[in-house]
Structures are given as structure tokens and as C-alpha cells.
Amino acid sequence: MRRIAVKYQGICTRCSATLEIGSDAMYEKYTGIFCIGCEPIETEDIRSFRQAKANSKADKYEGWADKREKEARERWG
């Protein structure tokens, strides 16, 4: 994780607090953005945030696949 200055207003992944522009936050691409002090430190905690993001991405891809299968069935029978 790295400390950043927030460029856009956002929401802490853990506590849902609003992160104002210019405030400091902790960020990692695979876990999200957190308030200072809310960032996951323990290995299992980090893993759970990464897994939640991976599950969300997998659900999105499955939705796309279902949509395309439906369109193919409608078009080709």
C-alpha cells in the first residue's frame, strides 16, 4: 500500500467515510482506497479485500457471458 493525496472525492472501502479531495489516504490497486488507519495490515485481511474485488470482477464477466449467450441463442436459435 502507498500513501496518496486524494485527487477525486471517494469513499473508504472499509468504513465508508467520505475522502475529500486533497486528503491523505492509503491505496492499492487490488484492495482499494482507505482512510489513514483503516487500511488492512494483516495478511488475511488484505486477502479478503483482494478476494472480494476478484469475486466482483468474476461476477461482471459471468454477466457479460450470459448476455452474449442469450443474444446468440436469440439470433441463431
The whole-chain average pLDDT of the chain stands at 94
Residues 50 and 68: their CA atoms lie apart, in Å, by 27
Q: What are phi and psi of 66, to 5 degrees?
A: -60, -40
Tell me the per-residue pLDDT of 20-53, one tens digit each, with 9 for 90 and over.
Answer: 999 999 999 988 999 999 999 999 999 999 999 9
Domain ranges in the chain are 2-76
Strands (E), 1-77: 2-5, 10-11, 18-19, 24-28, 32-34
64: confidence class by pLDDT, cuts 50, 70, 90: very high
Residues 36 and 25: their CA atoms lie apart, in Å, by 5
